A and B are shown apart, each in its own frame.
Chain A
Amino acid sequence: MQQIFNFIFKNSNRILFLLLLGISLSLTIQSHSFHRSKIISSANFLSGGVYEKVNNLNEYLNLKTQNDALALENAKLKSLLFNSEDTTAVRKLDSLKGVKLEDIIVSKVIHNSYNVYENYLTLNSGELQGVKTDMGVVNSLGIIGIIENTSPKYATVISILNKRTQINAKIKKSNHFGSLNWNGKSTGFVQLTDLPRLALIKIGDTIVTGGQSVIFPENINIGTIAKIYRDTQTNFYTLDIKLFNDMTNLGHVYIIKSKDRDEITNLEKREKDE
């Protein structure tokens, strides 16, 4: 017994190190696995609060670009308003077909990362505003990401600039679909993989979200084709997509509630069970 205590006292530093190393490594490994509830995330009152304060300051420096973007969006909305034939027709939010205004939560990005392989955003609305995990996040230009974690007042978003993101996307004109991921190289480009060789594509074609996704409504803009890679081994294309969004400069965003999501997932689950 004495020897055990002696051993512990003698190696207390090493034991402490190994113990803490075990904790931190398990946190790291857990953060790299796909489906998980993240313990260490910026959706908590401490980091969320600090980021909100810092963002308030940063906003002053960005006022000009934000104003320009808002003015542009205003001009677009005005042109829609003045050119529409009947103002009593069904309300539409720009290009988000099939989404009612009640299903949109307007929020603001208070922290944005884009320099690592797994990037996350922090938003300043949370459960109190009705934000839940797996809701889609878009802005006026295109998609941004998917809600990952929520706290009462804040939420983290897994950005499309993240190695773990997989979003169903299709060619706007032909309905051929593939899956959207990121290879971690450039913040302006994402990759569309598994697109069948049958699809007729050329550089400059528009890519939009596909109908298979239960998170995003169909036909939300993503980007244009910038480069086409032909793989001789398989029957699929890999494309470089130039994003419409500048992911390094994000302000206000829209969170989309999908009402059909529960219904669809329940249906598919029942299908599998049988």
Chain B
Amino acid sequence: MNSTLLVNIFRFILLLAIQIIIFNNMNFLGYISPFPYILFIILYPVNGNKSGLVAASFLLGIIMDLFSNSGGTHATACLVLAYFRPSIFKFAFGLSYEYQTIKLNDVLTPQRFSFILLSVVIHHFTLFLLEAFQLSYILDTLLTTLLSTVFTIIICIIIIYLIKPNKR
């Protein structure tokens, strides 16, 4: 048992609890709700076990589905985000990201911001697409994705700043 694992388990439970108790009840303008629970997937260590992340994301999503009666939509969206996370890293930080020491919960640079933005967009688009489950709702889906993305990113950045370890 090392501390990274413990931190991740703690983060998993805490983010889920906050999401279910507070953010699921936030319906800004009736239909925009933020999903900051995906911070778990975003903040997962860069060089951590990939299969572990995929399995944990599935568990995270299925618990969200349990609480919001949404079948498997959250699970699918989380899985897609977890699987494509290395590609997003490559896109945002350049090819050699694995050898750099990337710390996401630090000062917001353009690279970090683009990584969070891309992750949130991918997750939300998959989620709302599966939730509507009809191509005739595509415009509504895109609009909800856009608005919810803005909302989620604002809350994610606030949370990152709040839990930033200030060692230096």
Residues of A within 8 A of B (CB): 12-13, 16-17, 20-21, 23-32, 38, 40-42, 44, 46-47, 50-51, 54, 58, 113-118, 120, 122, 156, 184, 186-187, 248
Contacts and interface: CB of A to CB of B under 8 A. Distances in A.
A29 B62 CA distance: 14
B50 interface: yes
27 contacts: A13-B51, A16-B54, A16-B55, A20-B55, A24-B61, A24-B62, A25-B76, A27-B75, A28-B71, A28-B76, A31-B70, A31-B72, A38-B69, A40-B65, A40-B66, A40-B71, A46-B66, A47-B66, A50-B20, A54-B21, A113-B68, A115-B27, A116-B70, A117-B132, A118-B70, A184-B132, A186-B30
Given A20-B58, A32-B133, A25 B83 contact: no
Contacts of A47: 66-67
B69 A25 contact: no
A236 to B, nearest CB: 20
B71 A30 contact: yes
A28 B51 contact: no
B113 to A, nearest CB: 26
Nearest to A116: B131
Contacts of B55: 16, 20
A27 B71 contact: yes
A42 B30 contact: no
Contacts of B82: 17
Contact of B69 (A32, A46, A120): A120
A31 B67 contact: no
Interface of B: 20-21, 25, 27, 30-33, 50-51, 54-55, 58, 61-62, 65-73, 75-76, 79-80, 82-83, 130-133, 137, 140
Contact of A44 (B33, B51, B54, B66): B66
Contacts of B137: 117, 184
A38 to B, nearest CB: 7
Nearest to B77: A24
B133 A27 contact: no
A146 to B, nearest CB: 14
Q: Identify whether the interface residues of A are mostly helix, strand, loop, or mixed.
A: helix
A15 to B, nearest CB: 9
A38 B71 contact: yes
Contacts of B80: 21
Nearest to B49: A13
Nearest to B74: A24
A48 to B, nearest CB: 10
Contacts of B70: 31, 40, 116, 118
B31 A20 contact: no
A117 B30 contact: no
B69 A20 contact: no
Contacts of A44: 66
Contacts of B21: 54
A40 B30 CA distance: 25
A122 B66 CA distance: 12
A26 to B, nearest CB: 7
A156 B70 CA distance: 12
A117 B127 CA distance: 12
B72 A24 contact: yes
B122 to A, nearest CB: 14
Given A24-B58, A24-B79, A28-B76, A113 B50 contact: no
A42 B67 contact: yes
Contacts of A27: 65, 71-72, 75
A260 B146 CA distance: 49
A26 B73 CA distance: 10
Nearest to B72: A27
